Amino acid sequence: MAESFGNSFTVVQVTGDDTKTQIWLAVAKPSQALTLVLAAVPEGWTAQVLNVALTPKQQRTFEELHLAPGDVYRLDKA
């Protein structure tokens, strides 16, 4: 039986070949978030889960993206 992705957000930091970092959201458990994000970025990039607690405002903002379990989303720099 397949494991559920869950419905919580995991924050992932990705580092590209140029050493610049990006922040991604994955609607998945941390153990699955890395795989999902790495599948969305170029081969050879690295990723790590960031252990951050989302504020209620951030949680609501991310919920407005209407992401489904298993989706990933890159946050643009402001």
Q: Could you state, in chain order, the average pLDDT of each consecutive group of 10 residues for the chain (78 residues)?
A: 72 94 94 95 96 90 92 83
Q: Are 40 and 32 in contact (CB under 8 A)?
A: no
* Global confidence as pTM: 0.85
Question: What pLDDT is attached to residue 76?
Answer: 78
**pLDDT value of residue 1:** 39
Torsion, Cα of 49, 23, 18, 37 (10° steps): 60
Q: Please give the torsion angle defined by the CA atoms of residues 21, 37, 65 and 58, in that order, rounded to the nearest 10 degrees.
A: -50
